[in-house]
Amino acid sequence: MTQDEQKRAAAQAAIQHIPAGCVVGVGTGSTANYFIDELSNIKHKIEGAVASSEATAQRLRGHGIEVIDLNSIDALTVYVDGTDEITEHLAMIKGGGGALTREKIVAAVAKKFICIADQSKLVQVLGKFPLPVEVIPMARSYVAREITRLGGEPSLRQGFITDNGNIILDVHGLRILNPVELETALNQITGIVTNGLFAKRGADVLLLGTDTGIRTIA
């Protein structure tokens, strides 16, 4: 299977995990886009979807799926999203697409986080993929200095503004042996809105598209 076929297979597998009548949290990126396409086949069975980005909201509406404001619901049964890297312990680096803040909010609310990915995303140690960090623009230099003190090499994502009007620093050179510890340390730096480590609240299930079919890790 090609990488795209693996992504699509993981997206198709996720449909089996969507209970009838629920609101579905929907992520961002090419794998999540495959999921949106699959979700449109069962749109009459769900109440609607919460989007983790403007791009996802647009695609959902394009498929005739109602987009629901997260503030108008008390609970979210399930959230389905892709990842940039994930370990067997289901800790992730996310935010390559720049939607990490809204993704982390939706993940926080969701009872169950289902990660869908192709096999290239499964890693032993997080950090080869540069860790995205969303930053309030006036704090850019301060945050960059603080991240350097933690051992990372931040670089400004050029020409990119998040849906929330902020910038992204992509942090290179990390070998993240303790993702919860680094996520917590980054959370303490004033000016960082969100860091792309999803370890304190990782995935609950990984549906991994592989050459030999879907591998489930839970």
Select from 22-30, 56-64, 160-168, 182-190 the region that touches ligand ABF (CB under 6 A): 22-30
Angle (nearest 5°) at CA 90 between 30 and 104? 60
**The tokens of 205 are what?**
């299930």
* 30 is an interface residue for ligand ABF by CB under 6 A: yes
Which residue's C-beta sits nearest to ligand ABF?
29
Scanning residues 58 to 87, which ones bind ligand ABF (CB under 6 A)?
81-84
Helix (H) and strand (E) counts for the chain?
6, 13
Residue 88: DSSP 8-state: T
Q: For the chain, report the end-to-end CA distance as a whole number of angstroms.
A: 23
Scanning residues 100 to 139, which ones bind ligand ABF (CB under 6 A)?
103
Binder to ligand ABF among 14, 50, 95, 101 (CB under 6 A)? 95
Binder to ligand ABF among 31, 77, 87, 166 (CB under 6 A)? 31
Measured CA to CA, the distance from residue 177 to residue 105 in angstroms comes to 24
| DSSP E strand stretches across the chain | 23-26, 48-51, 76-81, 85-86, 92-93, 110-118, 131-135, 153-156, 167-172, 192-195, 197-198, 205-210, 213-217
Q: Which is nearer to ligand ABF, 23 or 35 (by Cβ)?
A: 35
Measured CA to CA, the distance from residue 183 to residue 138 in angstroms comes to 22
Binder to ligand ABF among 8, 94, 102, 157 (CB under 6 A)? 94
Select from 29-37, 58-66, 162-170, 200-208 the region that touches ligand ABF (CB under 6 A): 29-37
Scanning residues 177 to 216, which ones bind ligand ABF (CB under 6 A)?
none
Answer yes or no: 134 catalytic.
no
Catalytic residue among 47, 66, 85, 103: 103
Could you list the active site residues? 103
Please report, as ranges, the residues that interact with ligand ABF according to CB under 6 A.
Answer: 27-32, 81-84, 94-97, 103
